[in-house]
Structure 1
Amino acid sequence: MLVTTFGIDLAKSSFSLHGVDKDGNVVLKKNVTRKNTIIYRQYAHLPDWY
């Protein structure tokens, strides 16, 4: 699972994360609250540029 395109939709109290691979297949689709964003990043194994 290699995310080549990453999108983020910012809202007041939550984020919608969306990632696709080089073929356009969805490999990440997640809604997280601002409070849980740091915790999610630690366990999602996302690259440092996230």
Structure 2
Amino acid sequence: MVRIRTMTEADAVAGIRVGGWRTAYAGLVPQSRLDTPVPEVRHAMALPVM
């Protein structure tokens, strides 16, 4: 079953995306950049486009 994620799931989806990015770029991007808190705009990217 496929469904559109809800607003309450947006933070979880964003966290998974950011975690994947941090893992994938470890050793390629300075660690200080990877440790930087993620702006709220990243959370908006996790929301569905309608």
**So what's the TM-score if we normalise by structure 2?**
0.24
**Which is greater in Rg?**
2
TM-score (norm 1): 0.24
